[in-house]
Each structure stands twice: as structure tokens, then as C-alpha cells.
Structure 1
Amino acid sequence: MVDLRYLFVIILLCLGIKVLIKAIANRFRNKLPLPPSPTALPIIGHIHLLSPIAHQALHKLSTRYGPLIYLFIGSIPNLIVSSAEMANEILKSNELNFLNRPSMVNVDYLTYGSADFFSAPYGPRWKFMKRICMTELFSSRALDSFVYVRSEELRNLLTRVLKKAEAEESVDLGEELKELTSNVITRMMFRERQSSGSDVCGKREEEEVIKMVVELNELAGFFNVSETFWFLRRLDLQGIKKRLKNARDRYDVIIERIMEEHESKRKNVAGARNMLDILLDIYQDKNAEMKLTRENIKAFIMNIYGGGTDTSATTVEWALAELINHPEIMKKAEQEIEQVVGNKRLVEETDLCNLSYIQAVVKETLRLHPGGPIFVRESDKECAVAGFRIPAKTRVIVNVWAIGRDPNQWENPLEFRPERFQGTEWKVMSEKMLSFGTGRRSCPGEKMVFRFVPLVLAAVIQCFEFKVEGRVEMNEGIGSSLPRATPLVCVPVPKEANTINL
């Protein structure tokens, strides 16, 4: 028999060797340098190097310091990532260490303490909410059930533009597109129009929700001085806490009223289930795998409006601007629609699989004008990336805008050329772009985008030509969804050859 004393000694030796190896590894890792960093100023760190359009300023720094840069915004450490190679090493090779988003006072308060899907910490609850998104809200089956909603609202948009065309008036396409996307999301989220014309949720309440979400998004992205500098965190120098409380209280009252009305009426109203029905069913299910609270539902609604209204509308607006400035590309797109659909009926979602050039135009637009120019994660533990040491609790800012313009990835990156996406697998190209993120925390609305955005773009250029004075200006404005600096205002002209009945 083996002497237990020898066995005990062997176990102690093994444990000692393991601890020694870990200590040596930690010591070696601590010797790794931090990523390149410009000279920081006392207290403010690198704030002086930024600008209101953050992704442009960060891209400019990356051309000098490389694809990984270490910056301090006040007292907060940030890793700026500006290449697809580095982003994939962080978010795929080291994915488990970068699955969480940083805790930010503004966002946490507005989302009921990270009760939402977007900012919730990675874990069982987040996985449950992700599964709801993928199987119930944004699955092919769920999206199919709302085809007629998207079709009706698209025709309403085209009718509004046609009235402007008949009156020879100019139209702000950006505003019209935002009305389209908000109407689609509202109907998918809250209501089904009944034969009597009544709505489950009143139009006035819906408009209140949209206005509130716009205000909440602005507050979420507001630069909070008290959070940025550690010695000011107990103070509310800008009065943001008061504004946050006021805004969320008003939002809470509106959404709670809508939910209560919906709960009381939906039993007696026939029609397909909308997204709020699905969320309320889970909330009321006593046997659900995980309980969904009313705060979860309210935060979900905020996510869907905030993530879907401006981004989809802005993508179509940028695509139209690029097509107007590139008439030869516009002509190719029009010819494809003519060949596949003709001029006697309006393009439909079922046509999109045959409109490869239109799809390529959308993908090229997303490369140059991503709806989310940056996204943020946070390191849970210290780790090494590309020979550099990344401390724990470092915010990781992935500059999607810069990645789409990386000359090491794209030939003539500033040139608008949809052909680069033809004949290539989207999965491969998306890893070079990261427009929808990557890995487990990638955007669940990607399917919706590629159903809706190409359809709207195709329908608009199928029905109208647009008169502008000179070249459309392509400067970017300030905002998290990459808005244009100036609205896309055009005079629409109906295409004479069309016999489409709107």
C-alpha cells in the first residue's frame, strides 16, 4: 500500500509547483507594457485629444499610434481598438474576459439598474433575455408575422413623398425615414390595427414614448463630469441625476399606462401577437425558466426603440446620399430592380434574395457609415493582447467606423464601391467590419436590418428620382447613430415609366 504521508507530500509539491508557475506567469505578464499612449495631462488625462465626434478623433490617433491605444478619459482607463484583427483577438480569442459592458451611471439609471438586454451583465439572466430576442422577437418566424406591417408603413412613406412630388416641394428624407421606422417599431411593439380602426395603444401615447426615448438616449450619452473624475463622483455638478430621475419617472408612467391598457384589452382583441404580447406572456408565466419583471419589459422597449429607430433610418439616408452622388451606381441599382421586379408592382421582401446589388449597396453603406460607429466592452480580469498588458476594468472602445476605413483591410477604403461585396460571403466580410459586433453580444437585430433597410432603399429608388443642387454634402453630425451634419433635402420626381399603384 502507498504510504499516505508520501501521497500527502506529492500533493503539496504539485500545489506548490502550480502556485509557483502562476506567480511566475503573473510576474511575466506584469512586465508586459501597456499599449501605446499619447502624453496625458494631469487630472483630465487625454480628454484634450478628443472632439464632439469621438470616432473621428480616435481614428486620427490610431493612424499615429496604431490599432491599440491606451487612453485615460479623466480617471477612466480605455483601450481604443481600431482594426478588425485586434478587435477579433479581443472579442473572439479572449471573448469570456470581454463579455460585459462597463457600468455607467447614466445608462444604469435609465435602464432600471441594467434590467435591460443591452447593458445587463453576462450571466443566466442575460442569456435568457438573449434567447427571447433570438427566438421570439427577432426570429425569422417573428419577423415573417410582421411583413404586412413593414409593407403598409413603406407604402405610407411612399405616398407622403408622392404628395410632395406632385406639389413639386422638397422633402427631408431623413425625417420621413425616421417616421417610417418609428411607425414600424411602434406597430411591431405595441399594437395591431383592427378592422374597426381602433388601436390597442393610442397614437398620442406612442408619440409620447418616441419623444421620451429620444430624450433618454440623449441623457444616456451625456458627458457626465462627476463620473469621469473619481474625486467628483459624490457630486452632481451638472444636475444630471435630477434630469435622469425626472426623465425616467415620466417614461415609467407612460409605459406602465400602456402596459396596463394592453393587459386589460388584449384578451378581447383579435389579431396577431405583437412584441409586448410576447413579453407580457413571459412576465405572467409562473413556470417560466426565469422571471421577467416589469422593469425588464420597460428596459426592453427602450432598447428596441433606441437601437432601431435612428440607426435604420440613418443607414437608408446615407445610402441614398451615396447613390445620388454616384449616378453610375444608382443606375446599376435601378437596372437590377427593373430586371427583377419590373415597374408594375412595388418591390417586396421576397425579392431581396434576387437583389444582390441592392444588398451590396447596403453593406457598403454600413462599412462607411455604420449605424453604431463605436461600441464599448470592459475587461473583467487583467489579460495580455498582442503582447500588451490590459488591466482589469479597462473600458474597450471598438471603433467600427475606423475599422471600415482601414487601408490594411480595404482597397481604396474611402471609395464607395458596392462591388466589393458581390460574390463574397457575408460572414467573412462582417468579421472585417463588425457593424453588428461579434460573438455572444452581437446585435440581435441584424436579420431585421437586412430585411428592412434594403427593402426601403429599393422601393424609394424604384419610385422616385431626386433633384439636388450640386453634390450632396457628406459631413457627419454629432450623435451616437452617426447622423448627417445636414439633412438630406431633395425634390422627389416620380418615375414616368412606373405604373405602381400606391
Structure 2
Amino acid sequence: MVSSLIILGSLSFVVLSFLINRIYKPIGYTSIPGPALRLSTRLLMFIQLHFLQTLPEFTEFWCKLYGDTIGVWVNGGYTIVSCDADFVQKILAGTHASNFIARTGNDDGLKAIGMYQKGIIWNNDVPKWTLQRRIFQSGLGSNVREKAFEVATEKTRQEINRIKATARDNNTVPTIDLLNILRHSTLAVTLDVALGIQLDQERSQHLIDSIVEYFKAWEFFLMKPRFIWSLFPLRLYHHKKSISRLQELIRNLVSTLNKQSAPFISQLHENGLTIDEINQCVLEMVLAGTDTSSVSLYYTFILLTENEEIQNQLLDDSRDDSFLESVLRESMRIMPVGPVIIRKALADCDISGTRIQAGTNIVINVARMNRHPKWFEDPLKFNPQRFQQNENLIALSATMGGKGPKSC
């Protein structure tokens, strides 16, 4: 009896798989290139994405095979992947940009990292996101740039003096962890400007280490279905601890803040947010202000050390902010800290003649687009002057930060 049921079940599965493979075609997307999304192809993509490759690697693989805008299967749904600048501009900043303010994500994963319907990074509750986004914008006033410059200058001076003291005390040439130094600087700026506080070196380092581990947990939980987590018990345990550690640090930090310590904090309290929402907003401010900024600066320094002529020109033109901005744009073009941008359609709409249905995932391969010869001449060359010679590229480079209503 049992063996008969097994045989019957197996035959049913084979027949069902055959039928799905034969008849499945995403409705409304016949014009978009890509592999035939049969059950076997979707299974391959599932294994590829969750066990073999990161999302940027996954999108790069399929774009190489099928083109600049293609259809694949991600997170149980049809997904448009694009590195076509024209298509991307319309998604992020076109007339339908407000239709793409949500992000594809695993709700269980978002709950695990504390971002489910809280904060602004991955909050898909549109009214809540709109309110908290406004708080982020209004809480960082017009004097932010000047204050950030002062704090960054002072923190850099402190780090240089600390390195000199270490070299003098040990009578050796010190090994410098440039990325960590930059993280200390960007953290100091974020804490002072957004929260109105300063931390000592030891507490700052503890917070930085926790941020780095949180990002690893983020990558683990965000796209993986819940049932996969248990296949990696040690990583699951470690990542849960990392999330709890950073959340506890932020809770302790928020509990010591005066409600009037900085405009950002005042805005959080004055707009009726719960304490959990306030904690998450502060956590995301610290995350975004510390890690992405420091990594972008780190890549800039690396590229400058490999291009002495540009380095010298930057020093000679130290008062010319326009060239400095071009250097930063070019660095972020070649080495984008976020190689992909993820969105989700809230409603049906038409983009470049393609009917995009509500719920469709959109993944923008920023790294591939930035290195595409169609958009950037000699794309692998570090050439900041390209932005001064062609102002149209400035608008294109804005895509690196997300652009439009959900821009960074």
C-alpha cells in the first residue's frame, strides 16, 4: 500500500512538472528576453541564488546570457532585471517612480533583522515609510554639510595623532586599517550631526564591529526563505546574536538621548513614533551614515593610490569642489557600495512599452550598468574628468544612490 502511494505520488509529480514546464509563461511579459521559466529553470535559479551566488552575481550571470533587461525568477515571483540606463531612469525617477518605492524582501527575514514595517530602508508600509522618510529629511537641516565637515576634520586629526603616537611608542611603522579609520570618522559625523552625541574610541569600535556583523546577518536573512535558515544552524545562531547585539547597543544609546539633543531626535519623538520605531530609525541612521559612506570613501582612496596623476590634481585643486565631486562620482561608478537596487511594483503600470504588473520584482544591476560601454566610454578606466566633459553623465550617476522618491 505504502509503495503504491509512493509510486502514485512520484508519477503525479512527474506529470505535474511536465505540464508546468510545457504551459508556463509569465502573463504580460512575452516581450522581455530571458530563459523559459519552466519549473526546472526556476529550481535552478532557486539553488543558484540561495546556495551558490549572491544576488549581484546571480543577476550578472543571467544578464550576460540574455541582455540588458531580462526576466528571471526570484523569491517565488517573476523578476525583471535591468542594467539598461533608460529603463532604470524611468523606474527610479520617471512618471511612475512612486509605484516603485517598495522593495522586494522576505517578510520573515525583515522581521528577523527588525526592518519589517519600521524605518525607511526596507519598510514596505507606504504611509509609515512616507512619514519616517520625511523625518529623516527634515531632521537633517541645511547646516549638516558644514557641521559634518568640522566633525570629520577633527576626527581625522585625532586618528592621525593616534597613529603617530602608536608609531612613536612602539618605534615601528604602524599597520593602518584605512577602512576602520574611515568608519570611525563617518560614525563620529553621524552621531554628532544626527544624534548630538560623541563616543570614546572603545565604545565607537564596539559599535562599528556590531554594524559590520549586522550587515552579514542582513545578507543572510533578507532574501532566503525561512526554511533554508535551519540548514545553516551555526550561521543562524551567530547572525541572530549579531542582530540582538546591535539592537541592544542602539536601545541603550537612545535611552540616554535628550529629546532635544538634535533635530532628527526631536522629529522622531514629535511625530508619534513608537519606541521600537524610534530605535529602528536611529539604528538605520547609524547604519547608513557609517558603513556605506566609509566603504565608498575607502574605494575612493584605493583608486586614487592607483592613479597618482588624479591624486595630484585633486591636491592641486583642493579648493575646487566640482573636481572632488567628480572624483567621488567616478569612484562610486566603478565600485558602487550597493551593486544592486531592489524594488517592487505596487500597481500595474507601463514602462517603455512593457506592461509591469503589481507585485513584479525589479532588480537593477547598478554595477553592470556603471561599467557598460553603452553608457560610459572606456568604463573600467578611472576618469573623473568624464563628468566634467559630459554633464549628462551626472544625471546618470545619480542612479547609484537610488534616485527619485527613494533616493539615498
TM-score (norm 1): 0.65
Residue 419 in 1 paired to residue 400 in 2? Answer: no
Residue 187 in 1 paired to residue 192 in 2? Answer: yes
Percent identity over the alignment? 21
Assess if the C-alpha contact under 8 Å between 1:404 and 1:413 holds in 2.
yes
Aligned counterpart, 1:154: 156
1:467-486 correspondence to structure 2 within 5 Å: none
Q: Give the C-alpha shift of residue 412 in structure 1.
A: 0.9
Q: Distance in 2 between matches of 1:170 and 1:204?
A: 19
99, 120, 123: which one pairs with 2:123? 120
Assess if the C-alpha contact under 8 Å between 1:45 and 1:74 holds in 2.
no
Aligned counterpart, 1:398: 364
1:340-381 C-alpha deviation (Å, 9 max, x unpaired): xxxxxxxxxxx4xx2432322111101101121111110123
**3-state DSSP of counterpart to 2:220:** coil
1:410-465 C-alpha deviation (Å, 9 max, x unpaired): 1111111111012554x85233551111111111xxxxxxxxxxxxxxxxxxxxxx
175, 178, 184: which one pairs with 2:180? 175
The residue type paired with residue 219 of structure 2 is: G
Q: Distance in 2 between matches of 1:390 and 1:113?
A: 25
Aligned counterpart, 1:58: 59
Greater C-alpha Rg = 1
Assess if the C-alpha contact under 8 Å between 1:213 and 1:302 holds in 2.
no
214, 220, 223: which one pairs with 1:216? 214
Q: Distance in 2 between matches of 1:357 and 1:135?
A: 29
1:59 and 1:245, CA in 2 relative to 1: closer, same or farther beyond 3 A? closer
Assess if the C-alpha contact under 8 Å between 1:45 and 1:71 holds in 2.
no
1:90-105 correspondence to structure 2 within 5 Å: 90-91=91-92, 92-104=94-106, 105=108
1:390 and 1:60, CA in 2 relative to 1: closer, same or farther beyond 3 A? same
1:381 and 1:356, CA in 2 relative to 1: closer, same or farther beyond 3 A? closer
Assess if the C-alpha contact under 8 Å between 1:38 and 1:71 holds in 2.
yes
1:131 and 1:180, CA in 2 relative to 1: closer, same or farther beyond 3 A? same
Assess if the C-alpha contact under 8 Å between 2:163 and 2:174 holds in 1.
no
1:126-157 C-alpha deviation (Å, 9 max, x unpaired): 222222222222x3224434443222112123
1:56 and 1:259, CA in 2 relative to 1: closer, same or farther beyond 3 A? closer
Aligned counterpart, 1:378: 344
**3-state DSSP of counterpart to 1:321:** helix
Q: Distance in 2 between matches of 1:123 and 1:111?
A: 17
Q: Distance in 1 between matches of 2:144 and 2:223?
A: 42
Q: Distance in 2 between matches of 1:81 and 1:113?
A: 26
1:5-38 C-alpha deviation (Å, 9 max, x unpaired): xxxxxxxxxxxxxxxxxxxxxxxx9555152223
Q: Give the C-alpha shift of residue 39 in structure 1.
A: 5.0
Q: Distance in 2 between matches of 1:174 and 1:242?
A: 27
Aligned counterpart, 2:35: 38
Residue 278 in 1 paired to residue 263 in 2? Answer: yes
1:64-87 C-alpha deviation (Å, 9 max, x unpaired): 312211111363432111121111
Aligned counterpart, 2:255: 260
Q: Give the C-alpha shift of residue 295 in structure 1.
A: 1.4
Q: Distance in 1 between matches of 2:388 and 2:29?
A: 42
Assess if the C-alpha contact under 8 Å between 1:283 and 1:294 holds in 2.
no
The residue type paired with residue 302 of structure 1 is: L
1:310-366 C-alpha deviation (Å, 9 max, x unpaired): 2222222222222222222222223223xxxxxxxxxxxxx4xx2432322111101
Aligned CA RMSD, in angstroms, stands at 3.2
**3-state DSSP of counterpart to 2:343:** strand
1:323 and 1:280, CA in 2 relative to 1: closer, same or farther beyond 3 A? closer
The residue type paired with residue 159 of structure 1 is: N
Q: Distance in 1 between matches of 2:115 and 2:121?
A: 12
**3-state DSSP of counterpart to 2:276:** helix
| Count of residues in Structure 1 that have an aligned counterpart in Structure 2 | 373
Assess if the C-alpha contact under 8 Å between 2:340 and 2:364 holds in 1.
yes
Assess if the C-alpha contact under 8 Å between 2:155 and 2:185 holds in 1.
yes
Aligned counterpart, 1:454: none
Q: Distance in 1 between matches of 2:339 and 2:191?
A: 25
Residue 109 in 1 paired to residue 112 in 2? Answer: yes
1:326-475 correspondence to structure 2 within 5 Å: 326-337=307-318, 351=319, 354-422=320-388, 424-425=390-391, 429-432=394-397, 434-443=399-408
1:360 and 1:371, CA in 2 relative to 1: closer, same or farther beyond 3 A? same
Q: Distance in 1 between matches of 2:386 and 2:102?
A: 33
Residue 316 in 1 paired to residue 297 in 2? Answer: yes
Residue 135 in 1 paired to residue 138 in 2? Answer: yes
1:116 and 1:335, CA in 2 relative to 1: closer, same or farther beyond 3 A? same
Assess if the C-alpha contact under 8 Å between 1:33 and 1:389 holds in 2.
no
1:216 and 1:70, CA in 2 relative to 1: closer, same or farther beyond 3 A? same
Q: Which has the higher helix share?
A: 2
Q: Distance in 2 between matches of 1:390 and 1:414?
A: 33
1:249 and 1:54, CA in 2 relative to 1: closer, same or farther beyond 3 A? closer
Q: Distance in 1 between matches of 2:393 and 2:223?
A: 40
Q: Distance in 2 between matches of 1:57 and 1:248?
A: 26
Q: Give the C-alpha shift of residue 158 in structure 1.
A: 2.8
The residue type paired with residue 70 of structure 1 is: G
Q: Distance in 2 between matches of 1:191 and 1:204?
A: 18
**Gaps (5+ residues) in structure 1?**
1-28, 194-200, 267-272, 338-350, 444-502
1:175 and 1:385, CA in 2 relative to 1: closer, same or farther beyond 3 A? same
Q: Give the C-alpha shift of residue 120 in structure 1.
A: 1.8
Q: Distance in 2 between matches of 1:202 and 1:319?
A: 27
Q: Distance in 2 between matches of 1:261 and 1:202?
A: 15
**3-state DSSP of counterpart to 1:79:** strand
Q: Give the C-alpha shift of residue 248 in structure 1.
A: 4.4
1:78 and 1:142, CA in 2 relative to 1: closer, same or farther beyond 3 A? same
TM-score (norm 2): 0.79
